[in-house]
Amino acid sequence: MAASEIIKLMDRSEYYLDSPPTTDHKKTLQGKTVINLFYENSTRTRTSFELASLKLGANVINMTVDSSSVKKGETLIDTAMTLNAMHPDLLVARHGDSGAVHLLADKVDCSVINAGDGRNEHPTQALLDALTIRRYKKNLAGLTIAICGDIAHSRVARSNIYLLTKMGARIRAVAPATLLPSQIQKLGVEVYHTMAEGIADCDIIMMLRLQSERMDSALVPSKREYFHFFGLDSRFLALAKPDALVMHPGPMNRGVEIDSVIADDIRRSLIRPQVEAGVAVRMAVMESLVA
């Protein structure tokens, strides 16, 4: 996607974010069917897409596929073919495996929105993050943005790296080496292994969720050690620019990757604005694909 297209989407998202709901919005996807196909549990992303569809007047069907029906033998492609035969106008899909949504999109006739696939991508999250940053910092170009934490397993990190570097921001990846994927620097980021260095003079600090299974697979020793060295607290935040802002894609582990006080500090935390931007961004994306 070209930077100009991204800007167009962001502009349109901002329009939806700022304008009160109108009946015109409701006509945008009137009579259209959106299927939310979620192979992974998700409260906020699914709700956000559902709300965006409803605001645009679409009919929404939620399908949460738990692992039991996978065990019954129906493959992703079988499901795709079945859904395709119902002629939806748009499919919103999330899957635990990288590339799965790509595979799905190959097999159906309608547009497919990737709502997160494995550790690959989560494009609408990156768009809403970019929009949120732009609203508070005016410009994306020239900003220094630190993405901190479990980058290896994060689709949010990858999508943000692609989008924000394209928009001219400088991206730092800050994490212990066990949580960084191989050759991440080839994606155009600078790599740091300490928060002090990684956060110094940053405009934006984007924290990522640390799953507890990372301890089981010996990637980090313990939550308390992680928080001590990689959790965002006032000590580290003081090293960033004085007006630096904090983001988190949610759901947060308070006291693991982020201190509660910072998460709730409305002068520094963009976590709530991120969620608000989410619905608007998804409206703009759906509109661009279907209307």
Partner 1 sequence: MTQKPQSRLIRGARLVDSIQTSDSPQDLLIIDGKIAEIGETISAPPQTETIDAAGLYIAPGLIDIRVQTREPGGEHEETLESAVESAVAGGITQLICLPNTDPPLDEPALIAWIRQRGQSLGKTRIHAYGSLTKGRRGEQLAEMGLLQESGAIGFTDSPQAIGSARLMVQALKYARGFNSLVLSHPEEPSLASGMMNEGELATRLGLAGRSSLAETLLVERDCLISEATGSRLHIGPVTSAAAIDAIRRAKARGARVSCDTAAHYFTLTEMAVGNWRSFAKVAPPLRSESDRLAVIAGLKDGTIDAVSSDHSPRAPDSKRLPFAQASFGMVGLETLFPLTLDLFHHHGFTLAQALSLVTAKPAAIVDIKGGTIDKGEPADLIIFDPNQDWKIDPEQFKSRSKNSPLLEYPVKGRIHQTLIAGRVVYQHQP
Residue 135 in the binding site for partner 1 (CB under 8 A)? no
CB-nearer residue toward partner 1: 127 or 152:
152
Near partner 1 by CB under 8 A: residue from 12, 51, 63, 97: 97
Near partner 1 by CB under 8 A: residue from 63, 103, 191, 215: 103
The CA distances from residue 69 to 39, 66, 138, 141, in Å, are 10, 6, 47, 46
In this structure, which amino acid lies at residue 230?
Answer: F
In this structure, the strands spanning 144-148 and 170-174 are parallel
Q: Which helix (H) or strand (E) holds 203?
A: none
Near partner 1 by CB under 8 A: residue from 121, 129, 150, 259: 121
CB-nearer residue toward partner 1: 158 or 172:
158
Phi, psi for 242 (deg, rounded to 5): -60, -30
CB-nearer residue toward partner 1: 123 or 231:
123
Subset of 138-157 contacting partner 1 (CB under 8 A): 155
Subset of 183-202 contacting partner 1 (CB under 8 A): 183-184, 186-187
Q: Which helix (H) or strand (E) holds 239?
A: none
Q: How far is CA 23 from the centre of its chain?
A: 29
Residue 76 in the binding site for partner 1 (CB under 8 A)? yes
For tokens 């007047």, the residue is: 57
Residue 100 in the binding site for partner 1 (CB under 8 A)? yes
Near partner 1 by CB under 8 A: residue from 32, 46, 55, 95: 95
Residue 102 in the binding site for partner 1 (CB under 8 A)? yes
93-124 burial, b if ≥16 CB within 10 A, otherwise e?
Answer: bbbeeeebbebbbeebebbbbbbbbbbbbbbb
Part in contact with partner 1 (CB under 8 A); list of ranges 12-20, 96-104, 138-146, 269-277: 96-104
Residue 105 in the binding site for partner 1 (CB under 8 A)? no
Residue 77 in the binding site for partner 1 (CB under 8 A)? yes
Part in contact with partner 1 (CB under 8 A); list of ranges 14-22, 61-69, 70-78, 164-172: 70-78
Phi, psi for 57 (deg, rounded to 5): 85, 10
Part in contact with partner 1 (CB under 8 A); list of ranges 82-90, 132-140, 178-186, 279-287: 178-186
DSSP string covering 145-179: EEEES--TT-HHHHHHHHHHHHTT-EEEEES-GGG
Near partner 1 by CB under 8 A: residue from 22, 43, 68, 182: 182
Phi-psi region of 210 (alpha: psi -120 to 50; beta: other; left: phi over 0): beta
Residue 71 in the binding site for partner 1 (CB under 8 A)? no
242-272 burial, b if ≥16 CB within 10 A, otherwise e?
Answer: eebbbbbbbeebeebbbbeebbeeeebbbbe
CB 89 within 8 A of CB 112: no
Near partner 1 by CB under 8 A: residue from 46, 55, 94, 158: 158
Near partner 1 by CB under 8 A: residue from 118, 193, 239, 276: 118
Site size for partner 1 (CB under 8 A): 23
The site for partner 1 (CB under 8 A) is made up of: 75-77, 95, 97-100, 102-103, 117-121, 155, 158, 181-184, 186-187
